[in-house]
Amino acid sequence: MNGRNTLLLIILLMLVLIGLSFRFQGYENTWHIWNIPTLMPPFTDLRLLPGSAESFRAGYDPIYKNPGDPLGRHFNYPYAWYFVFYTGIQQDDTIWIGAALALGYFFCVWLFPRRIGLLSAGLMALVLFSPASMLAVERGNVDLFIFVLCTLTLLFMERQTWLSTIILMIASFLKLFPIFGVAVFLRESRSRFWIISLSTFIVLLAYAGLTYPNISASFAYTEKGAELSYGVNVVPLYFERLFDSKQLFDLLTPIFSLTGLGLSLFAAYRGSKSAPLPVIEPRHITAFRLGAMIYVGTFFIGNNWDYRLIFLLFTIPQLAEWATESSARKSAAMTITAMVVACWYLVQSHLAGITSGGQTIAYGIDQLSKWGLFAGLCYFFFASAPDWLKIEVAKAFEFRKTKTA
């Protein structure tokens, strides 16, 4: 049995088991298997959309007042989501939409890879059914829809680059961070890459400028996490809340930001100097660039909930190939290990909580794994970059050395 068939079998089997658990163990008890802090009613994140639509139809601007949402949350999505308010969507539609999003997500995970081996299939299943991924499903988070759009970006890129560009732009209008995925266009020639990338950035900047008040309010109303999160600001926020000190956060934030910048520059330099890495399947390297840059870019943003780790699934087929068939197999194996540890933090934290101080240790391991994953993905992105980009990066570092000397 090949890898894709194995992955499909695992997905179907797990969905059946989850369905049976819902039937006999109950909804909340099933999610507790992953130690997911379940919220009710089901698909709580998704309910923000129909709730906000109901508020809008009642005459409110849900960004500022949102009585239609079950939790009374402010609408914190970009302006492009306002099209939903005119669809007639209601809270009663949440369950079927959430189920469709989840099934679409699982289907896309199986759909995008090509000719994967059993190792890739096993690793993808391990991340797909990790607590981080299941958190996205339990919440019905719209990142599942963004994942589907990113998959379509990959699939159409092989025949219709223009359509792929449009899909990525739509995803970026909806959640902004998919713009980091322009790295997928590195499969094009150097000139086409710059034309497409600069064009998409200009369009997104224009959109951001026109809707700035909405985007600003969205960022302000988005809850930030000190745990179950990744990014350069997560640890500073953790210490702020631990010691109830805003001054400590203000002190640590630039330190961690500069650390992230230095780590990424070091990884980029090492990657640009490395030997070429083998690429067997073009779609896998394109998918890797998409997933890697979404993680690296959102890491710099500062704070992201762990459900956004689902985009790491795009990196697994290529990383698995490098872990078995390249001179960088040890680095690839370490990057994969960091990914798995990061995605399974909720279970580790639960098990560690049995011992005194265990949760603190688990938190430290979790954050180290996420920083290690950040460095590893930066390195492999530049190590596998087209020759012209590696040359430009190497020249930039040599220029800095010359000026310093």
pLDDT of residue 349: 83
pLDDT of residue 328: 86
Contact 313, 124 (CB under 8 A): yes
pLDDT of residue 222: 82
Total domains present in the chain: 1
Beta strands in 17-111 (DSSP E): none
Task: Report which DSSP code applies to 40.
Answer: S
Give which of 285, 304, 312, 293 is closest to 181, Cα–Cα.
293
pLDDT of residue 354: 63
Residue 372: φ, ψ to 5°: -65, -40
- pLDDT digit string, tens, across residues 57-69: 999 989 889 999 9
Give which of 91, 106, 104 is closest to 43, Cα–Cα.
91
Distance CA 224, CA 178 (A): 19
Beta strands in 115-262 (DSSP E): 229-230
- pLDDT digit string, tens, across residues 346-395: 988 877 766 667 888 999 999 999 999 999 999 999 999 999 999 999 88
| Residue carrying structure tokens 């956060």 | 249
Distance CA 10, CA 260 (A): 36
Helix 246-273 vs helix 358-383: crossing angle, to nearest 10: 40
pLDDT of residue 203: 94
Name residues of the chain where pLDDT drops below 70.
1, 353-356, 399-405
Token pair recorded at residue 103 = 């099934």
Domain range holding 299?
3-404
Distance CA 358, CA 215 (A): 39
pLDDT of residue 403: 53
pLDDT of residue 400: 54
